[in-house]
Chain A
Amino acid sequence: MKKLLVIPFLCTCLISFGTSIPVGSKHTVKTIKQAIEKASHGDTLIIYPGVYREGNIVLEKRLTVIGKDYPIVDGENKYEIFTIHADHVTVYGLKFINTGVASINDLAAIKVLESNYLRVQNNKFENTFFGIYFANSTNCRVEGNELKSDAESEHQIGNGIHLWKCEHMTLDNNRVTGHRDGIYFEFVTESLITNNYSEGNMRYGLHFMFSHNDEYRNNTFINNGAGVAVMYTKGVKMIGNTFEHNWGSSAYGLLLKDIRDSFVTGNIFKKNSVGIFMEGSSRIEFRENTFSENGYAVRLQASCDDNVFERNNFSANTFDLVTNGTLVLNTINHNYWDHYEGYDLNHDAVGDVPYRPVSLYGMVIEHMPSAVLLWRSFFVFLMDRAEKAVPAITPDNLKDNSPAMKPYDFHKAN
């Protein structure tokens, strides 16, 4: 029955083509504000190149706004630029620059309030406080946008793409650099985040809280102040993302705090000071991830339980795994560890002796950070050897019982 109702709805959509209103210095309508006033639901505004300084533009009609050759909409460092409060709006091909900066209001280049079915596509943002801001909206698409900012400190800048209390959102192929958080979600559920690129943001490349059942695919998070941090969420899928070069005393490739029932699969963690930091997280499956050249590949706090690490590649990490307690409630199996020194007598590609990924020195550092200055000394080498031979301090049952002899080739399998 529902499906039948959709068909006449689609037909009306097709019939109700609005008129298109050209906007520009050479046209009768000079400003975007005038055009919005003139337009009725379903119309299209075509913005011709030029600089539009019109303060805050409020859009409360179902319109399509299309920019030709990136017309510049300037907030003059004072105003929020677009405030949208209408369903079915499309904003395409505009260039937003210089929004105001405020500590009380979150001024954004495009702010969407309580609206559904929007498209924000192929826009450029430069020096905006918040770039794209959605509040209490559903079923919107944010696609192909490019956000650039160059603030000097965290409090002078907002988030690139900021979503609050949204559902069914799609973020695809956006680039965010130089903001506070590249992508920020709070109470955003059932959403799809794909192919985005978040680099050089002050704080986190991706930051979300209470955002259940979202899926992240093929995104790249590089060189952000503190990497990626996600908290208080269940049902997250992270597949095929790259976390790279998040380097610093408190930077993490991926920080998981109170995450439950999730999947982290096929990701690449490279050159992070900590690949994954986990705290209070349960029932997460880590499969087919690649950890290489990290300081710590995984820091698994003892407050995590029922997590599964299977078929991951660990290579050239300083520490493969570090934990802060002796109680182990997680499963680690069938991984490849380049530090593994065992043998495989029956040639089934599975090592015959278990591998203990936690080194004594790793434990020591976890408790006494100052001890790090002994790193790579002969003393530490001997200490680790002795512990490997007769484990006394490291958790006895934290081991990979069937380590792989060769690294997995995930690309071939795909």
Chain B
Amino acid sequence: MTRVLKYILYDILRTRFILLYTAFLFISTFGLYQLDSDSGKVVLSLLNIVLMVVPLVSIVFSTIHFFNSYEFIELMLAQPVKRSTVFLGEFMGVACSLCAAFVTGVGVPMLLFGINANALTMLYTGVTLTLVFVSLAFLSSVLTRDKAKAIGIALLFWLYFSLIYDGLLLWVVYSFSDYPLEKITLVLIAFNPVDLARIIMLLQLDISALMGFTGAFYQEFFGSYLGIVLSTLVLFIWIVLPIALAQRIFNRKDL
């Protein structure tokens, strides 16, 4: 497994895309800190990058990488290695490199300008979102044999979680606005990792008070020990479930 992982990491480094991604994150974070001295505002601006760019890059890069190393996978499977080892090795390789890129790209400027609880939450949500979207990318990769189609599915996932789901959520809130929706929306939020990450982040930045009763309710939930454990658990499920499903398909798939 470690050997497979080593080859994959080496391969990813060779493409240089990951270095570009790290540089992009580094420059934008650094630039934002230069523009604004208030670290709270910087984190807020970074939130957009974390919620939009990180999932997009993660999912597209992972899908493309999977298809580019298709021949490598086929070769490996010809060896006496378990299918799950190769597949998980591939997943770990991509996930590790993307997470490392994010942590260095965003974390180093944060360290330079002073790290605090907000920044740490930011790193946490960023890493989690990366893992979730790599996991989803692998699912979309095994769903089809066609690279273009797989990228299409991946983009659809991204679009769905970043945009369409929120639209649907607003529609639900609008249709049932006469009812107390706090608990239901809490459940609905759990079905979208991006929303979950966003709300964890927003509540951390302590701008919840303006959100009235709903905000107070969320604050109480996410501020509590149970809330932190549950939200982490849900995000963890979002990582594990797609990759487990993908592996199941991969194991039975006729390559």
Contact = CB atoms under 8 A, between A and B. Distances in A.
Interface of A: 247-251, 273-274, 294-296, 318, 364, 367-380, 382
Contacts of A250: 212
B185 A373 contact: yes
A376 B51 CA distance: 10
B211 A375 contact: yes
B214 A318 contact: no
B44 to A, nearest CB: 8
Contact of B167 (A296, A367, A379): A379
A337 to B, nearest CB: 18
Given A367-B177, A378-B162, A378-B166, A373 B199 contact: yes
A372 B212 contact: yes
B170 to A, nearest CB: 6
Given A274-B210, A373-B185, A374-B169, A249 B163 contact: no
A63 to B, nearest CB: 49
B13 to A, nearest CB: 31
Contacts of B48: 376
A356 B212 CA distance: 24
B170 A371 contact: yes
A324 to B, nearest CB: 14
A159 B182 CA distance: 35
Interface string B208-231: 011111111010000000000000
Contact of A369 (B44, B167, B199, B212): B212
Contact of B181 (A295, A370, A376, A380): A370
B249 to A, nearest CB: 30
A378 B165 CA distance: 11
B47 interface: yes
A378 B215 contact: no
Nearest to B40: A293
B74 to A, nearest CB: 38
B155 to A, nearest CB: 14
Interface string B49-83: 00110000000000000000000000000000000
Interface residues of B, number: 33
B172 to A, nearest CB: 9
B136 to A, nearest CB: 17
Contacts of B19: none
Nearest to B177: A368
Closest 7 CB pairs of A and B: A295-B210, A379-B166, A372-B211, A273-B210, A370-B181, A368-B177, A247-B209
Given A318-B210, A378-B162, A373 B195 contact: yes
Contact of B166 (A249, A273, A274, A374): A374
Contacts of B214: 369-370, 372-373
A293 B47 CA distance: 18
B12 interface: no
Nearest to B219: A249
A325 B133 CA distance: 42
A247 B207 CA distance: 10
Given A249-B209, A273-B209, A376 B173 contact: no
B182 to A, nearest CB: 7
Contact of A375 (B169, B173, B202): B202
A368 B48 CA distance: 24
Contacts of B195: 373-374, 377
A248 B51 contact: no
A368 B174 contact: yes
B123 interface: no
18 contacts: A249-B211, A273-B209, A296-B210, A318-B210, A364-B170, A368-B173, A369-B211, A369-B213, A370-B181, A370-B182, A370-B214, A371-B170, A372-B214, A378-B51, A378-B163, A379-B162, A379-B167, A380-B166
B189 interface: yes
Contacts of A296: 210
B147 interface: no
Given A249-B215, A379-B170, A373 B210 contact: no
Contacts of A251: 209
B47 A376 contact: yes
Interface in B105-153: none
B138 to A, nearest CB: 24
B202 A295 contact: no
A372 B215 contact: yes
Contacts of B202: 375-376
B167 A376 contact: no
